[in-house]
């Protein structure tokens, strides 16, 4: 067993370039429908609460990820939150440099145990701090299409 | 029925940033050849094979179907784990514990250099509805995590940088490692910021390579090897996948996996009882987070361990003497294999210039990288 003769010159190496064309539709499900319809139609953020664990999930889930109970209690959690952590991204997905860095934050929605990972806007990156209060800024109603991008960003309150 | 299982043979390729001369199958073949030779077995002697593969990383749908050939496993029992090598090792371990299988081979391979859109593939691991539409470089998750971890613990970027300096230096003494270097803390801090506070040098560079190991039941292991390395304890755990509800400062899955492994290995005081550790350092701060989660120190104390030189090769608890992922390279699902390999070489006394004195019990840990929350641990003894 074993390799007895290896390729010795780069020029002798052959490769085949290929692409995997992957197209997919992800239906958002029962909790996702509630969440995105509220965003689209009313500019509201909803979560589900597990009464047993006293945990409020944002985005909502139809089950508690801790005790596995079914959750049906959708609640309006408001649009304000706190920067739990943030980062400033200097690179695009392909590794190229961004023209302008983006600020991404994990925003804990006030009064809940969840939140949203989204951009921060209307703030200079050097002024961002963990713990600062922010609120969701939505696109104009006619531009909203039921996606996470219906929220433009969170901005300081 | 056997209760003890040992590693009786290991084989690996070099870990390098590119390996254009071998196909991914030939990489595995090279590692398998060495492992079987070391164990003194041929494929016909092996009862079962466990491979490790992620479809998108392999570049195939149903990648598990592409695993048998290069292992000598055609027309044999094969199963494939879509996870880290250490999860495959645990699967092989449990197969032998059933008493039905005596010798099992385990494999993992990385051909990251074949992935021309590596970060795009990683982005595919994110929630398609809530996270992917932002279309950000996946490193942002590490940036978020590092920032919160430093905020919570008061650990500094300098202390994270010291991890990089240490691991890259260790890698200089590891002939298998592809990313060894002698650098300074300033080099790390001054390298370009990728996702604040994370710099380029805080990130382990992607790497190619393959590892194969042969496991055997107690009686067989004693026949096959004069230096069997025993599996003493294993643990694995997955946290919630949601970015929105996970803990951003602590890898809780590692903590729980460690509790499981320590209980099984009857380890009460890890720092005193374990001689060396290979843990996931895919990013500099992860080494510190994982030291705390593995209970080698209390929360926020890992920075001090690095300051005091405790985790250096000559220190009280050497951590990532192989160079870790920062010095060897990010081997994706083969990462845990490289960690386990180093522990095994050290426990056999075959680690050359980086050999740790009196190494009798070692811990290998893997985390599956951004954006995952899965941790796996295996504890070995000689």
What is the per-residue pLDDT across B71-89, written as a single tens digit (0 to 9) for each? 999 999 999 999 999 999 9
Residue for token pair 């254009």: B20
Residue B292 lies in domain? 137-202+232-381
A113 within a domain of the structure (yes/no): yes
> Average pLDDT, stretch B184-203?
98
pLDDT bin (cut points 50, 70, 90) of residue A2 is confident
Tens digit of each residue's pLDDT (9 = 90 or more) over B18-63:
999 999 999 999 999 999 999 999 999 999 999 999 999 999 999 9
Q: Determine the distance in angstroms separating the CA of A144 from the nearest CA of chain B, rounded to an integer.
A: 14
Report DSSP state, residue A93.
Answer: T
The angle at the Cα of B336, spanning B333 to B337, to the nearest 5 degrees, equals 90
**Strand ordering across the sheet containing B374-381:** B78-81, B48-52, B103-111, B208-217, B5-12, B229-238, B374-381, B361-367, B276-278
A46 within a domain of the structure (yes/no): yes
pLDDT at B1 over 70: no
User: Taking CB atoms and an 8 Å cutoff, what residues of chain B touch A28?
Assistant: 129
B128 within a domain of the structure (yes/no): no
Nearest chain A Cα to B246, which residue?
A114
A5 within a domain of the structure (yes/no): no
- B94 lies in the same domain as B221: yes
From start to end of chain A, where are the E strands? Answer: 46-50, 55-57, 74-76, 80-91, 97-109, 115-119, 133-138, 151-156
The angle at the Cα of B206, spanning B214 to B247, to the nearest 5 degrees, equals 90
- B41 lies in the same domain as B162: no
Which are the contacts of A135, defined by CB distance < 8 A and separation ≥ 6? A79, A80, A81, A154, A155, A157
> Average pLDDT, stretch A66-90?
97
The rounded distance, in Å, linking the Cα atoms of B125 and B122 is 5
- B60 lies in the same domain as B154: no
pLDDT bin (cut points 50, 70, 90) of residue B3 is confident
In the stretch 43-82 of chain A, residues with CB closer than 8 A to chain B read 57-59, 65
Work out the mean pLDDT of chain B and round it to a whole number: 97
Question: What are B315's two structure tokens?
Answer: 């220190």
In the stretch 359-378 of chain B, residues with CB closer than 8 A to chain A read none
User: Taking CB atoms and an 8 Å cutoff, what residues of chain A touch B116?
Assistant: 17
Q: What pLDDT score does B55 carry? A: 92
User: Taking CB atoms and an 8 Å cutoff, what residues of chain A touch B119?
Assistant: 93-95
pLDDT bin (cut points 50, 70, 90) of residue A1 is confident
**Are the C-beta atoms of residues B91 and B208 closer than 8 Å to each other?**
no
Polymer length in residues for chain A: 157
A11 touches chain B (CB under 8 A): no
Q: What pLDDT score does A21 carry? A: 87
* CATH code where residue B68 lies: 3.40.47.10
Tens digit of each residue's pLDDT (9 = 90 or more) over A93-122:
999 999 999 999 999 999 999 999 999 999
CB atoms within 10 A of CB B149: 25
Residue A75 lies in domain? 24-156
Share of chain B above pLDDT 90, in %: 98
Residue B231's beta-bridge partner residues? B380
The rounded distance, in Å, linking the Cα atoms of B271 and B37 is 35
A79 within a domain of the structure (yes/no): yes
The rounded distance, in Å, linking the Cα atoms of B288 and A146 is 40
B370 within a domain of the structure (yes/no): yes
- B141 lies in the same domain as B289: yes
- B196 lies in the same domain as B93: no
The rounded distance, in Å, linking the Cα atoms of A93 and B135 is 7
Question: What are B378's two structure tokens?
Answer: 């295996």
Q: Do A116 and B130 touch (CB under 8 A)?
A: yes
The rounded distance, in Å, linking the Cα atoms of A79 and B189 is 37
- B220 lies in the same domain as B299: no
CA distances from B57 to B61, B137, B203 (A): 10, 17, 19
B152 touches chain A (CB under 8 A): no
* CATH code where residue A102 lies: 2.40.50.140
CB atoms within 10 A of CB A125: 14
B48 within a domain of the structure (yes/no): yes
Buried/exposed B224-237: b ≥16 CB within 10 Å, e otherwise? bbeebbbbbbbbbb
Residue for token pair 């149903």: B62
Report DSSP state, residue B113.
Answer: G
Residue for token pair 């190991």: B213
Q: Determine the distance in angstroms separating the CA of B147 from the nearest CA of chain A, rounded to an integer.
A: 6
The rounded distance, in Å, linking the Cα atoms of A101 and B192 is 13
Helix (H) or strand (E) holding B107: strand B103-111
The rounded distance, in Å, linking the Cα atoms of B79 and B64 is 7
**Are the C-beta atoms of residues B113 and B20 closer than 8 Å to each other?**
yes
B372 within a domain of the structure (yes/no): yes
pLDDT bin (cut points 50, 70, 90) of residue B7 is very high
A34 within a domain of the structure (yes/no): yes
Query: Could you give the number of structural domains in chain A?
Result: 1
A127 within a domain of the structure (yes/no): yes
- B85 lies in the same domain as B168: no
Q: Which of B229, B264, B298 is the last residue of a domain?
A: B229
- Residue B31 — φ and ψ, nearest 5°? -65, -40
Helix (H) or strand (E) holding B198: strand B198-199
Which ipTM value was assigned to this complex? 0.96
- B49 lies in the same domain as B172: no
Which residue, B199, B186, B159, B164, is CA-closest to B328? B164
- B220 lies in the same domain as B333: no
- B183 lies in the same domain as B276: yes
Tens digit of each residue's pLDDT (9 = 90 or more) over B285-317:
999 999 999 999 999 999 999 999 999 999 999
**Are the C-beta atoms of residues B207 and B112 closer than 8 Å to each other?**
yes
Q: What pLDDT score does B294 carry? A: 98
Query: Could you give the number of structural domains in chain B?
Result: 2
- B104 lies in the same domain as B170: no
B65 within a domain of the structure (yes/no): yes
Residue ranges in chain B assigned as alpha helix (H): 24-39, 55-58, 85-97, 118-123, 139-153, 157-172, 185-190, 218-224, 252-265, 270-273, 284-293, 302-307, 324-328, 335-348
3-state secondary structure labels for all residues of B145-176: HHHHHHHHHCCCHHHHHHHHHHHHHHHHCCCC
In the stretch 153-212 of chain B, residues with CB closer than 8 A to chain A read 192-198
Q: What pLDDT score does B239 carry? A: 95
The rounded distance, in Å, linking the Cα atoms of A153 and A105 is 10
pLDDT bin (cut points 50, 70, 90) of residue B2 is low
- B184 lies in the same domain as B275: yes
Question: What are B15's two structure tokens?
Answer: 């870990």
User: Taking CB atoms and an 8 Å cutoff, what residues of chain B touch A125?
Assistant: 196
Residue B219's beta-bridge partner residues? none
User: Taking CB atoms and an 8 Å cutoff, what residues of chain A touch B193?
Assistant: 88, 90
A11 within a domain of the structure (yes/no): no
B132 within a domain of the structure (yes/no): no
């Amino acid at each position: 067993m074993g390799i007895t003769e290896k390729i010795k010159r780069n020029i002798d190496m052959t490769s085949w370039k290929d692409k995997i064309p992957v197209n997919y539709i992800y239906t958002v499900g029962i909790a996702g429908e509630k969440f995105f319809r509220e965003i689209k139609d009313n500019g509201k953020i909803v979560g589900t609460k597990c009464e047993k664990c006293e945990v409020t999930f944002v985005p909502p889930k139809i089950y508690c990820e801790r005790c596995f109970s079914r959750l049906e209690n959708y609640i309006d959690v408001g649009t304000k939150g706190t920067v739990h952590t943030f980062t400033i991204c200097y690179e695009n997905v392909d590794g190229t440099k961004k023209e302008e860095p983006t600020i991404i934050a994990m925003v804990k929605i006030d009064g809940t145990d969840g939140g949203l990972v989204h951009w921060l806007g209307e703030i200079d990156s050097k002024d961002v701090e963990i713990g600062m209060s922010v609120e969701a800024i939505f696109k104009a109603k006619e531009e909203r299409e039921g996606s996470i991008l219906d929220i433009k960003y969170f901005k300081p309150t | 029925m056997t209760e003890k299982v040992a590693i009786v043979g290991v084989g690996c390729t070099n870990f390098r940033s590119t390996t254009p001369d071998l196909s991914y199958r030939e990489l595995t073949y090279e590692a398998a050849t060495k492992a079987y030779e070391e164990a003194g077995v041929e494929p016909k002697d092996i009862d079962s094979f466990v491979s490790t593969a992620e479809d998108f990383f392999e570049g195939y749908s149903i990648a598990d179907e592409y695993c048998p050939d290069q292992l000598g496993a055609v027309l044999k029992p094969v199963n494939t784990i879509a996870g880290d090598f250490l999860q495959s090792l645990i699967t092989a371990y449990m197969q032998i514990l059933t008493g039905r299988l005596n010798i099992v081979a385990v494999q993992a391979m990385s051909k990251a250099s074949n992935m021309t859109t590596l970060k795009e593939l990683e982005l595919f691991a994110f929630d398609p509805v809530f996270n992917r539409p932002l279309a950000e470089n996946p490193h942002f998750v590490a940036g978020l995590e590092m920032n919160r971890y430093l905020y919570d613990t008061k650990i500094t970027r300098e202390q994270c940088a010291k991890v990089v300096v240490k691991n890259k230096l260790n890698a200089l003494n590891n002939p298998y490692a592809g990313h060894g270097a002698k650098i300074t803390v300033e080099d790390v801090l001054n390298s370009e910021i990728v996702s604040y506070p994370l710099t380029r040098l805080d990130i382990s560079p992607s790497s190619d390579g393959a590892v194969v190991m042969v496991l055997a039941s107690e009686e067989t292991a004693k026949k096959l090897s004069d230096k069997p390395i025993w599996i003493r304890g294993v643990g694995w755990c997955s946290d919630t996948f949601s970015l929105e509800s996970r803990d951003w400062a602590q890898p809780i899955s590692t903590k729980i996996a460690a509790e499981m492994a320590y209980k099984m290995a009857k380890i009460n005081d890890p720092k005193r009882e374990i001689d060396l550790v290979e843990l996931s350092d895919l990013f500099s701060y992860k080494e510190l987070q994982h030291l705390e989660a593995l209970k080698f120190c209390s929360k926020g104390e890992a920075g001090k361990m690095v300051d005091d030189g405790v985790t250096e090769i000559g220190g009280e608890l050497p951590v990532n003497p192989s160079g870790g992922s920062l010095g060897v390279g990010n081997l994706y699902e083969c990462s845990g294999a490289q960690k386990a390999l180093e522990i095994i070489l050290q426990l056999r006394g075959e680690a050359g210039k980086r050999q740790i004195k009196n190494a009798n019990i070692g811990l290998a840990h893997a985390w599956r990288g951004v954006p995952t929350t899965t941790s796996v641990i295996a504890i070995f003894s000689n």
